[in-house]
Structure 1
Amino acid sequence: MASFQYSGRHADGSAASGRVEALSKAAVASQLLDQGITPVKVELTAPSEDDKKSSKAGQIRLFERVTLDELIMFSRQMASLTRAGVPITSGMRGLANTIRNPLLESTLNTVADDLERGNSLSTTLNKHPKLFSDLYVSMIHVGENTGQLDQAFSQMASYLDLERKTARSIKQATRYPMFVMAAIAIALGVINVFVIPAFKSVFESFGGEMPWQTRVLIAISDFTVDWWHLILGGLLLLGYLFVRWKKTEDGRRKWDRIKLRFPLVGGIFYRAILGRFARTFSVVLKAGIPIEQGLSIVSRAMGNLYVGEKVADMRKGIERGEGFTATAHRTGMFSPLVMQMLAVGEETGRVDEMLADVADFYEEEVEYDLQNLSSVIEPILIVAIGMMVLVLALGVFLPLWELSSTING
Structure 2
Amino acid sequence: MVTRFLPALSASAKLICRFITMAPFRELPATTASAASAMTAETDKSAFPKVSTFHPDTARVSTRTVTADDRASVETLLKAEGAMVLSIEPIENRLARSLKIKNRRRKVDAGLVCIELGGLLRAGLTVSEALDSLAHRDDHPNVDVYRRLYDGLLSGLPLSEAMKQVEGIFPGILVAAIQANERSGRIPDALDEYAKYAQAQEALRKKVVSAAVYPATVIGFGLLVVLFLLAYVIPRFAMVYDGTAMQMSGPTRILLAVGHFIHEQGWGLLVGIVLLGVIVADQFARRNAAQRLLNAIGGVWPFKKLGERFQQARICASLAMLTRGGYDFPEAMRLASPLAISASTRVQLDAARERILEGVLVSHALMQTDFSDGFAVRILQAGERVGDLAGSFDMLAQTYRRELETMLERTMRLVEPILLMTVASLIGAIVVLMYLPIFDLAGAI
* TM tier, smaller: 0.7 to 0.9
Q: How big is the shift at 1:157?
A: 0.8
Q: How big is the shift at 1:61?
A: 5.1
* 1:132 aligned residue (170, 176, 183): 170
- Are residues 1:385 and 2:426 paired? no
* 1:77 aligned residue (102, 111, 116): 116
1:26-75 Cα distance to aligned partner (Å, 9 max, x none): xxxxxxxxxxxxxxxxxxxxxxxxxxx9999767754533447x432221
Distance in 2 of aligned mates of 1:327 and 1:250: 29
What stretches of structure 2 of length at least 5 have no aligned partner? 1-92
1:286-334 Cα distance to aligned partner (Å, 9 max, x none): 1111112111111123455553343233223322333222321233232
- Partner amino acid, structure 2, of 1:78: L
- Partner amino acid, structure 1, of 2:125: V
The worse-fitting range, judged by mean Cα deviation, of 258-267 and 242-251 is 242-251
The worse-fitting range, judged by mean Cα deviation, of 345-354 and 147-156 is 345-354
* 1:362 aligned residue (371, 377, 400): 400
* 2:389 aligned residue (341, 344, 351): 351
CA contact (8 A) 2:118 2:188 kept: yes
Name 1:288's counterpart in structure 2. Answer: 326
From the CA coordinates, give the structure whose radius of gyration is larger: 2
Q: How big is the shift at 1:83?
A: 0.8
CA contact (8 A) 1:72 1:161 kept: yes
Distance in 1 of aligned mates of 2:134 and 2:188: 16
Distance in 2 of aligned mates of 1:307 and 1:57: 41
Distance in 2 of aligned mates of 1:213 and 1:112: 70
Change (3 A) 1:136 1:225: same
Name 1:45's counterpart in structure 2. Answer: none
The worse-fitting range, judged by mean Cα deviation, of 115-124 and 233-242 is 233-242
* 2:195 aligned residue (154, 157, 169): 157
- Partner amino acid, structure 2, of 1:137: V
CA contact (8 A) 1:254 1:306 kept: no
Distance in 2 of aligned mates of 1:184 and 1:401: 26
The secondary structure found in structure 1 opposite 2:247 is coil
Q: How big is the shift at 1:281?
A: 0.4
What stretches of structure 1 of length at least 5 have no aligned partner? 1-52
The secondary structure found in structure 1 opposite 2:292 is helix
Change (3 A) 1:151 1:60: closer
Change (3 A) 1:385 1:240: closer
CA contact (8 A) 2:312 2:400 kept: yes
Q: How big is the shift at 1:88?
A: 1.8
Name 1:184's counterpart in structure 2. Answer: 222
- Are residues 1:213 and 2:251 paired? yes
Distance in 2 of aligned mates of 1:338 and 1:267: 16
Distance in 1 of aligned mates of 2:439 and 2:138: 67
Task: Give % identity.
Answer: 18
Name 1:270's counterpart in structure 2. Answer: 308
Change (3 A) 1:57 1:310: farther
The worse-fitting range, judged by mean Cα deviation, of 331-340 and 214-223 is 331-340
CA contact (8 A) 1:96 1:109 kept: yes
Distance in 1 of aligned mates of 2:140 and 2:438: 61
Distance in 2 of aligned mates of 1:59 and 1:404: 70
Distance in 2 of aligned mates of 1:310 and 1:236: 40
CA contact (8 A) 1:213 1:394 kept: no
The normalised TM-score by structure 2 is 0.72
- Partner amino acid, structure 1, of 2:195: A
Distance in 2 of aligned mates of 1:85 and 1:279: 28
Mapping of 1:3-402 within 5 angstroms? 62-67=102-107, 70-98=109-137, 100=139, 104-246=142-284, 250-302=288-340, 304=342, 306-402=344-440
Distance in 1 of aligned mates of 2:138 and 2:265: 51
Distance in 2 of aligned mates of 1:55 and 1:245: 33
Change (3 A) 1:255 1:392: closer
CA contact (8 A) 1:281 1:294 kept: yes
Change (3 A) 1:266 1:95: farther
1:60-109 Cα distance to aligned partner (Å, 9 max, x none): 754533447x432221111110111212223223223336566x322221
CA contact (8 A) 1:214 1:394 kept: no
Q: How big is the shift at 1:167?
A: 0.8
Distance in 1 of aligned mates of 2:431 and 2:291: 44
- Partner amino acid, structure 1, of 2:251: Q
Distance in 2 of aligned mates of 1:257 and 1:389: 31
Distance in 2 of aligned mates of 1:280 and 1:273: 11
Distance in 2 of aligned mates of 1:367 and 1:66: 27
Distance in 2 of aligned mates of 1:286 and 1:106: 30
Distance in 1 of aligned mates of 2:172 and 2:94: 21
- Partner amino acid, structure 2, of 1:208: M
Distance in 2 of aligned mates of 1:292 and 1:169: 31
The secondary structure found in structure 2 opposite 1:300 is helix
Q: How big is the shift at 1:229?
A: 4.0
1:241-273 Cα distance to aligned partner (Å, 9 max, x none): 444444556545433422322443332132111
Q: How big is the shift at 1:239?
A: 3.9
CA contact (8 A) 1:97 1:105 kept: yes
Distance in 2 of aligned mates of 1:61 and 1:147: 30
Distance in 2 of aligned mates of 1:237 and 1:339: 50
